[in-house]
């Protein structure tokens, strides 16, 4: 039995939101982290991702499945349910993701300073 996901596992100002390194779409990295300890049902995945709509979570899961990172298993009996699980390819992303998260944490202040600095985009001269 996989332990339940912590609804607060992602800080609202998590470095993943600030990091310029992205794995897939906005939610893909967090979904992969949710699946790190084993298969999860759709409703379990929504718990620590309060900002994601059902439609967007479905789209992200389909993209991850299409890319070979997540497998989807439908169970018919005794209770209908669908489980999502990392494939070996998806599991191989955990190490580079951990390195990217570690990097973002080390450079957190610099990333915030850069985001808050006046932008030179759109300036002439």
DSSP string, 67-99: TTSEEEEEE-SSS-EEEEEE-HHHHTTHHHHHH
The CATH number fitting domain 15-116, selected from 3.40.50.920, 1.10.10.10, 1.10.1200.10, 3.30.300.30: 1.10.10.10
Encode pLDDT of 20-63 as tens digits.
677 778 889 889 999 999 999 999 999 888 888 999 999 999 99
pTM beyond 0.95, yes or no: no
Measured between its terminal Cα atoms, the distance across the chain in Å is: 61
Structure tokens at 25: 């779409």
Whether the Cβ atoms of residue 93 and residue 34 lie closer than 8 Å to each other = no
């Amino acid at each position: 039995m996989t332990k339940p996901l912590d609804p607060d596992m992602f800080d609202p100002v998590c470095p993943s939101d600030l990091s310029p390194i992205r794995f897939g779409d906005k939610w893909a990295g967090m979904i992969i982290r949710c699946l790190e300890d084993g298969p999860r049902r759709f409703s379990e995945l929504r718990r620590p991702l309060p900002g994601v709509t059902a439609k967007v979570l479905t789209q992200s899961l389909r993209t991850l499945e299409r890319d070979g990172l997540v497998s989807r298993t439908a169970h018919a009996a005794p209770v209908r349910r669908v489980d999502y699980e990392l494939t070996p390819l998806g599991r191989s992303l955990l190490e580079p993701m951990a390195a990217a998260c570690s990097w973002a944490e080390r450079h957190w202040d610099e990333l915030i300073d850069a985001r808050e600095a006046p932008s030179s985009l759109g300036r002439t001269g």
